Amino acid sequence: MLRSLKCNFRGGVWVVRQLIHHLLAVLVLSLTLAGLLESQQPVSASLPPGAKLYIAPMEWNLDRFVAAEISRQGLPMQVVVGPREADFVMTGLYQNLGLRMLSPGHYIYVKIVAVNGGKQVWSAEVRDFPLFFAQLRPRGRGRAAKAIVKKLRNNNLQGRPVGE
């Protein structure tokens, strides 16, 4: 009787491990598909120099940090305080990932759309995780804003839209 219990327990652990592996495979596949679908979105020409950009309020007060980083890096665009004065509007989607004690992280998706017509002009995503190959790295709102503006500078000012 004791021997059969040990066998069943070991089999149960194997089933749980297989279930976890399958769930992780489904998660990876869904994230991959989401990334592919995002890269298939049509993106038009980049922002012209001197464009007026309104940064909509974002969670984690990221809009303030992005506006400060744009002015700090000297991007050739003007940040305005309202959408009525703007040529383009930047919006963001923020998602807190993980538990607070176990690898907390943040996923931020930012896009810029034209006020006239609502056509998407630029998009980027930033992942802010504390661990990278088991090493602590700096993170937070300032780092995320710096990464967003860096992607905006690299993709926009060189004349190529996101996704190329």
| Alpha helical stretches, state H, 40-164 | 62-73, 141-156
Q: Are residues 36 and 56 in the same domain?
A: no
Total of domains in the chain: 2
pLDDT score at 140: 79
Backbone angles phi, psi at 115, to 5 degrees: -65, -45
- Please state whether beta strands 135-136 and 131-132 pair in parallel, antiparallel, or not at all (unpaired): antiparallel
Task: Check whether residue 141 and residue 106 sit in a common domain.
Answer: yes
Residue 148 lies in a domain: yes
- Clarify whether residues 32 and 103 are in a common domain: no
**Percent of the chain residues topping a pLDDT of 90:** 37
DSSP 8-state symbol, 129: -
The encoded tokens of residue 153 equal: 């500078």
* 84 and 134 housed in the same domain: yes
Give strand ranges (E) for the chain.
51-55, 77-80, 88-97, 105-114, 120-128, 131-132, 135-136
Q: Which pLDDT score is estimated for 19?
A: 72
pLDDT per position as a tens digit, 23-81: 766 665 566 656 655 554 444 457 888 999 999 999 889 999 999 999 999 999 999 99
Q: Whole domain around residue 128: which residue ranges?
A: 51-156
138 and 77 in a common domain: yes
Residue pair 137/127 in contact (Cβ under 8 Å)? The answer is no
Q: Are 12 and 83 in the same domain?
A: no
The pLDDT, as a whole number, for residue 40 is 45
Same domain, 104 and 28: no
Q: How far is CA 61 from the centre of its chain?
A: 15
Residues 85-110 have a mean pLDDT of 80
CA 71, 77, 78, 79 torsion-angle sign: negative
- Global pTM exceeds 0.85: no
In a domain, 87, yes or no: yes
Of the two residues 107 and 58, the one the predictor is more confident about is 58
Same domain flag for 70 and 140: yes
Amino acid at 8: N
User: Quick one: pLDDT band at residue 105, thresholds 50, 70, 90?
Assistant: confident
- Residue 150: inside a domain: yes
**Counting beta carbons within 10 angstroms of the beta carbon of residue 10, is it exposed (0 to 12), middle (13 to 18) or buried (19 or more)?**
exposed
Domain match, 84 and 65 both: yes
Cα dihedral 140/163/46/54 (nearest 10): -30
